[in-house]
Amino acid sequence: MARDRAQNPILVPAVSQPRIEVRQGFTGTQLLLYGAILSPEGARAAKDYDIVIVLEGPARPLSLREKKRVAGVWVNADSTTLRSVPGFYAVVSNRPLAQIVDERTAAIYQLGLTALQLSPSGSIDPAAQEHFAAGLVDLMRRSGLYLQDESAVRVKEQVLYEARIALPSHVPVGTYTAETFAVQRGRVLASATARVEVEKQGFEKAVADFSQHQPVFYGLLAVGVSIAMGWLAGRVFALI
């Protein structure tokens, strides 16, 4: 077993933008993830490996509510709270994940949207849990915050790999982890992690800091601005 581990490849990952600044007018960006696959001696890897990269954003608890139509009116029905939901999740690979790993391995390493572990904070029926998790993944996918691309990774001469992942304009701020996996015959033989910081800067950062450190004054200011805008709009329409 020790001999097998000694023969495993070494991954050297990197990202094009270790620090992304979210300023006014930010329209999103493309993050380039790349690296090298080396032998334990630091030379070119002698075997072929599949590459899977998972880019995951900061996690937080999230409450979900399902709306149902009752007597022609939409009302809140079932609800649940998930303990740890990634604000962003992207998985990219050089070929379909089903051809790289089996369901058990995918679940262990959370490789793929269907393998995300979205654990509820309390007891819930497994079927209901699966229903809520699938609904959340679909919602996040349609908003551009979750994605799965099984042809995004390019491996060149079994030495270099690269992939591009699009980050939308509403990407959450925080620390992101980009974990790269080298897989052979269904087994994860090596992994390595790089980090990306997404930070608000300029006016957006000032507003965010003010709202966090002075929530009462921020709320009063927001109400005051809303009243002023309403009064101004009324005066403008009165003059038309």
Q: What is the pLDDT of residues 194-239, one digit of tens each?
A: 999 999 875 454 454 445 555 655 566 666 667 766 666 666 566 6
pLDDT value of residue 133 = 83
User: Cα-Cα-Cα-Cα dihedral of 200, 201, 206, 210, to 10°?
Assistant: 20
Q: How far apart are CA 188 and CA 192, in angstroms?
A: 11
Mode of pairing for the β-strands spanning 29-38 and 10-15 = antiparallel
Q: How far apart are CA 10 and CA 57, in angstroms?
A: 24
Residue-level pLDDT at 76: 61
pLDDT digits (tens, 9 = 90+) for 108-127: 999 999 999 887 776 666 77
Fold of 10-202: Immunoglobulin-like (2.60.40)
Sketch the domain layout of the chain as residue ranges: 10-202, 203-239
Q: Determine the pLDDT at residue 210.
A: 45
Q: Give the pLDDT confidence score for residue 145 in this predicted structure.
A: 96
Taking CA atoms, 167 is separated from 26, 27, 102, 198, in Å, by 11, 9, 28, 10
Q: Which amino acid is at 144?
A: G
Q: Is residue 128 a contact partner of residue 65, using CB atoms and an 8 Å limit?
A: no
- Give the whole-angstrom CA distance, residue 168 versus residue 44: 35
Residue 50 · residue 183 · CB < 8 Å: yes
**Rg, Å, the chain Cα set:** 23
Question: Would you write out the chain's pLDDT as a tens digit for each of its 240 residues?
Answer: 444 555 788 999 999 999 999 988 899 999 999 999 988 776 666 578 999 999 999 999 888 777 666 666 666 667 788 888 999 999 999 999 999 999 999 999 999 999 998 877 766 667 777 788 888 899 999 999 999 999 999 999 888 999 999 999 999 999 999 999 999 999 999 999 999 999 987 545 445 444 555 565 556 666 666 776 666 666 656 665
